[in-house]
């Protein structure tokens, strides 16, 4: 809700740096609240949330550095390109890690579900049919 307020009260066309600073403050405040409260029972979920918020804060800080018009880095094309690629790299790495976590969790759930199913005795002379699969799932 605070992110929506910052985006609507401070349009990106009129004051991009101020909007990014407000967004960074909201993200960092959320990070401190998550780290202090730890709302999930599973610590892995809490650490994942804190890691995502820290990455979002870092990406917001890098992008706010891009909007700065200092002579140190605002006008150097190489530094701007490095900042852009580091932001894109952080976003890509975060997405890749989350995809891998989801895939790992799905495999763990399927493995646990397979262990719950009773195994049917295999008959060498009878081919495996879809009907036996559906009968097995119903029971």
**Domain ranges across the chain:** 2-138
Q: For the whole model, what pTM was predicted?
A: 0.69
Q: Using alpha carbons, select from 54, 76, 55 the residue that is nearest to residue 65.
A: 76
- The whole-number pLDDT of residue 127 equals 45
Both structure tokens of 57: 């804060």
Rounded-to-integer distance, Cα 3 and Cα 22, Å: 8
* pLDDT reading at 123 higher than 60: no
Average pLDDT of the residues in 9-16:
75
The conformational region for residue 100 under phi > 0 = left, psi -120 to 50 = alpha, else beta, is alpha
């Amino acid at each position: 809700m605070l992110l929506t307020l910052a985006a609507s009260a401070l349009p990106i066309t009129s004051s991009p740096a101020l909007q990014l600073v407000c967004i960074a403050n909201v993200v960092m405040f959320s990070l401190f609240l998550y780290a202090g409260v730890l709302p999930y029972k599973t610590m892995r979920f809490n650490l994942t949330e804190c890691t995502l918020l820290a990455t979002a804060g870092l990406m917001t800080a890098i992008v706010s550095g891009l909007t700065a018009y200092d002579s140190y880095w605002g006008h150097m094309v190489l530094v701007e390109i490095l900042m852009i690629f580091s932001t894109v790299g952080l976003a890509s790495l975060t997405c890749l890690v989350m995809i891998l976590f989801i895939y790992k969790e799905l495999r763990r759930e399927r493995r646990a579900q397979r262990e719950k199913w009773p195994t049917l005795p295999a008959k060498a002379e009878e081919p495996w049919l879809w009907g036996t699969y559906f009968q097995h799932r119903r029971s």
